[in-house]
């Protein structure tokens, strides 16, 4: 039996079933840790606008703008109102995945998770490696 819960916070919908969890960084940033599984991207139309959903077998998170990372780095994942999903300036399509064990090469200008501000939603993807740019 799957346990389901949903939370709406500042226009962001969090839906998860264990083992996904949601915490706060310094009481100002919502942090969601998705399970160590493949993560599927979806572009969703809502009354309030378009959102991007990250979904695994056991949890999901949805918002217009999310930050993803490994607990240290943070890169912006955005649902553009007419052009789809963007991560580091690259467009993603409905159904694209962050596969367990895959690597995302960070571009210069990425943020540190500690630099996120109040209201940001930070999604930790434990199955994805984030490679720092070479100098």
Give 27-47 pLDDT, tens digit per residue.
Answer: 689 999 999 999 999 999 988
Q: Give the SS3 label for residue 29.
A: strand
Chain centre distance of CA 68: 4
Whole-angstrom Cα distance, residue 81 to residue 93? Answer: 14
Integer Cα distance of 118 and 22 in angstroms? 15
| pLDDT tens digit sequence for 83-104 | 899 999 999 999 999 999 999 9
Q: What is the pTM of this model?
A: 0.80
What counts of helices (H) and strands (E) characterise the chain?
0, 16
Domain range list for the chain: 9-120
Three-state secondary structure of 90-118: EEECCCCEECCCCEEECCCCCEEHHHCCC
pLDDT for residue 77 is more than 90: yes
């Amino acid at each position: 039996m799957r346990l389901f819960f949903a939370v709406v916070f500042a226009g962001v919908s969090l839906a998860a079933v264990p083992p996904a969890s949601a915490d706060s960084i310094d009481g100002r940033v919502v942090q969601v840790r998705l399970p160590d599984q493949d993560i599927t991207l979806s572009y969703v139309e809502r009354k309030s606008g378009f959102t991007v959903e990250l979904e695994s077998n056991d949890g999901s998170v949805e918002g217009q703008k999310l930050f993803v990372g490994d607990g240290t780095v943070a890169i912006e994942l955005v649902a553009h109102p007419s052009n789809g999903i963007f991560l580091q300036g690259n467009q993603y399509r409905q159904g694209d995945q962050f596969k367990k064990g895959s690597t995302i090469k960070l571009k210069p200008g990425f943020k540190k998770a500690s630099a996120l501000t109040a209201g940001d939603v930070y999604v930790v993807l434990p199955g994805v490696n984030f490679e720092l740019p070479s100098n």
